[in-house]
Amino acid sequence: MTHFVSHLEGAIDGTRLEFGRIYNLHAGKPIVVRYDLAAVRKVVTPTDIATRPPTLWRYRELLPLPLDVEPVTLGEGMTPLLKCDRLGGELGLPNLFVKDESQLPTGSFKSRGMTAAVSMAKWLGVKRVALPTAGNAGGGAAAYAARAGLECFVFMPQDTPVVSHFEPHLYGAKAFRVNGLINDCGKIVKDGTEPMGWFDLSTLKEPYRLEGKKTMGLELAEQFGWKLPDVILYPTGGGTGLIGMWKAFQELRELGWLKSDKMPRLISCQAEGCAPIVTAFDKGERFAELFPNAATAASGLRVPVAVADFLILDAIRASGGTAVAGAETAIAPWMKRASSREGISICPETAVCFDVLEKLIVNGDVKPSETVVVFNTGAATKYLEALPAELPLLEKERIDWDKIGA
Amino acid sequence: MTHFVSHLEGAIDGTRLEFGRIYNLHAGKPIVVRYDLAAVRKVVTPTDIATRPPTLWRYRELLPLPLDVEPVTLGEGMTPLLKCDRLGGELGLPNLFVKDESQLPTGSFKSRGMTAAVSMAKWLGVKRVALPTAGNAGGGAAAYAARAGLECFVFMPQDTPVVSHFEPHLYGAKAFRVNGLINDCGKIVKDGTEPMGWFDLSTLKEPYRLEGKKTMGLELAEQFGWKLPDVILYPTGGGTGLIGMWKAFQELRELGWLKSDKMPRLISCQAEGCAPIVTAFDKGERFAELFPNAATAASGLRVPVAVADFLILDAIRASGGTAVAGAETAIAPWMKRASSREGISICPETAVCFDVLEKLIVNGDVKPSETVVVFNTGAATKYLEALPAELPLLEKERIDWDKIGA
């Protein structure tokens, strides 16, 4: 056996689908990968994994690419789990951690999904991929497509941060701005499938980006010594990471690799200006409605409708967690505050998480004794627009030390 | 014993200096760290190191910070060594590798020096640091100073890329632009030592950034199975990385950890617009003159005078290597070519290395059978100005597939 996938499964109705073919959605909803975990348990242990190179491919048996196929990789994964004592001290949380995804290739968590999805697409014979992006996914896809030698088309809202324009261009993708939001871009990609002959790489519209994102949960478990934290705050746009982590935790539990079966509470964080999941959570709904007039400086959260809404909401509820919106006005201040306390390049989406965390501490929903992990999903430097920097100009002939020290 | 440092040494005259005090230069030249390698050999082996977490602090016994002191760390190090088959195929080099430093905190190799220097500064009681920067060092220093809770002052040429303005601001440093070059900024830092009471963190004007940079060489050795490649191309501004790697190789040789004592040829790559080391190398000099009217899009190479010029030139010559200038006009094309072939975020300084590599292959100075490593010292996204991206704007109501496919 060169892989441990048992089958694919339609997430909405449990329909079994055969592995090894090209799929997008089933019944208009996501497809997920299922493994023969009993077989995995027989061939690999956490001790084996500890000896492997520090990339997400160390969890090879829990990923869909056959073992004898070379992945399309840029060395991604095993991002640092950083204890934050200075910020934790201010917030009254002695066990606050940031999982820093800004250190991945292309500076964001999108690399995890892309290494898996592009590896699978290449293996399955795809030559051309396309996707919509709210910002970071475009750069990630373009980089991995370049590494694989695939053609790549990227569509983004016209006012996406400038670094998101730069990256696909750098990697030789064909990138376009669109007078609309990510769902409008998604429609172009869908409509182009036939005339352009590309594979739709949209998140959760193919089964494998989710598997790559799942490794955030696997790494967290390994880095905490195969225990899980009490609380995870995760910024939620398309929600793949949140769904992926929850899937990872269930697989680890079934494998028997966890020292305790206590699951973390998942806190889905959105911005006030685009909070469809928060709205649905509050109403007790399983499906979210399109969020009208979506607008936020946290561009990655500007996803007014998510194809996997029910999977996000199921995971939050199953974990005993919640969905909370952070204030738009808190974004720039929290980017600066968190970054300047800990030296971590905190992106706007994660700034939203810190605003939510502060609310939950005040509410008593997060206790000082709890171990809390906040995901930093990308580098702040990818969002220059969110925190304008205008540095004073000095004349070298006339240096005034008082002014410099002021 | 809590550390393995035997003493510090004035690089120009071998003067022994006591470890554990605050130093900048000795006789106007750099100070280097010497270790009791016989003692290191007794307590640690490459096999031990293989079991440690994937950060540069795995080489703890070869770093100056006492073992019982917590480093100021963001999880930096063990950057991927990526085989480049597509680009290697085009260049006729089947064994071409890129060591990708863009995946470090703050997106550049500067983090290596800063984790070491800021850890040491904090341990030695420093409260306030200052430095000049050509771009990336400022962000790196600001991040580690933030993590350590130190005050940080950054001075940069006024036309430094915008991301270099953003980063120190994000991390709460006091950052200034200056109407001059990095040596003018360096003078401000030097002059301010007295009135401002800060510690001068300029590269090679304190002993420890070099030790952090040295880990590029240690990682390379470990990742190649304790052998070294035939050729290393390294973009040279201040030259700390090149000197550091050469120091690392000598230490490893003395430790007996290398399977072969054959040393790589070091190729120092500079840009035509600022090539003081190349000029001195060609003239057979040990010291370099100030390069007049320095100007290049590879902003990290805009260092017209390097305090450690003689250490750079000594290392190049001892290795049997050379110093070569790349063409200014090759920078943008090579950024795009290398990035789009391999999905690696290639910075302008590394683009210069690829231009040099191509020349050396044509010359016959680099042979197809050789194992060649090119260092990618930072993320391309930190140099938006170097490769302008103007993406076409589509109207979602009027999609023309022919135009998209063109």
Residue B357: exposure state from Cβ atoms within 10 A (0-12, 13-18, ≥19): buried
Q: Which residues pair with A156 in a beta bridge?
A: A177
Question: Across the strands, what pairs with A154?
Answer: A131, A175
In this structure, which CATH number among 3.40.50.1100, 3.30.1700.10, 3.90.226.10, 1.10.1040.10 belongs to the domain A81-107+208-386?
3.40.50.1100
Task: Say if residue A308 is exposed, middle or buried (CB neighbours under 10 Å; 0-12, 13-18, 19+).
Answer: buried
Cα three-residue angle B312-B315-B318, rounded to 5 degrees:
150
Q: Residues B102, B380: contact at Cβ < 8 Å?
A: yes
Q: Does A188 contact B394 at a Cβ distance shorter than 8 Å?
A: yes
The strand pair at A199-200 and A322-326 is best described as unpaired
The pLDDT, as a whole number, for residue A300 is 95
Residue B70 exposed, middle or buried by CB count within 10 Å (0-12, 13-18, 19+): exposed
| E-strand stretches of A158-260 | 174-178, 199-200, 231-235
Tokens of A386: 């969110």
Q: What region does A377 belong to: left with phi over 0, alpha with psi -120 to 50, or beta?
A: alpha
The residues facing A378 across adjacent strands are A108
- SS3 for A270? strand
- Read off the pLDDT of residues A271-280 as tens digits, 9 standing for 90 and up: 999 999 999 9
Task: Return the residue in A147, A170, A347 with the most chain B beta carbons within 10 A, the one to mutate for interface testing.
Answer: A170
CA distance from start to end of chain B: 67
Inter-chain contact A82–B100, Cβ cutoff 8 Å?
no
Q: What is the pLDDT of residues B243-282, one digit of tens each?
A: 999 999 999 999 999 999 999 999 999 999 999 999 999 9
Decide if B192 and A401 are in contact by the 8 Å CB cutoff: yes
Contact residues, chain B, for A396 at CB < 8 Å: 178-180, 184, 187-188
Q: What string of pLDDT tens digits covers the 406 residues of chain A? A: 699 999 999 999 999 999 999 999 999 999 999 999 999 999 999 999 999 999 999 999 999 999 999 999 999 999 999 999 999 999 999 999 999 999 999 999 999 999 999 999 999 999 999 999 999 999 999 999 999 999 999 999 999 999 999 999 999 999 999 999 999 999 999 999 999 999 999 999 999 999 999 999 999 999 999 999 999 999 999 999 999 999 999 999 999 999 999 999 999 999 999 999 999 999 999 999 999 999 999 999 999 999 999 999 999 999 999 999 999 999 999 999 999 999 999 999 999 999 999 999 999 999 999 999 999 999 999 999 999 999 999 999 999 999 999 8
- Nearest chain A residue to B347 by CA distance is A170
Q: Using N-to-C axis directions, what is the helix angle for B136-148 and A331-342, rounded to 10°?
A: 80
Is the CB of residue B223 less than 8 Å away from at least one CB of chain A? no
Answer yes or no: do A391 and B169 touch at CB < 8 A.
yes
Question: Are A345 and B176 an interchain contact pair (Cβ–Cβ within 8 Å)?
Answer: no
Q: B174 in contact with A at a CB cutoff of 8 Å?
A: yes
| Domain B81-107+207-386, second-level architecture | 3-Layer(aba) Sandwich (3.40)
Instruction: Find the helix or strand (DSSP H, E) in which A335 lies.
Output: helix A331-342
Instruction: State the Cα–Cα distance between residues B141 and B161, nearest whole angstrom.
Output: 17
Contact B82 A104 (CB under 8 A): no
A75 to B100: CB separation less than 8 angstroms, yes or no: yes
Nearest CA to A154 among A124, A128, A120?
Answer: A128
CB-closest option in A81, A165, A196 to B404: A196
Residue B329 C-alpha, separation from nearest chain A C-alpha, in angstroms: 17
Q: Does B164 touch chain A (CB under 8 A)?
A: no
Q: How far apart are CA B113 and CA B203, in angstroms?
A: 8
CB contacts < 8 Å between A and B, how many?
233
- Contact criterion met (CB < 8 Å) for A394 and B179: yes
Q: How far apart are CA A197 and CA B53, in angstroms?
A: 44
C-alpha radius of gyration, chain B, whole number: 21
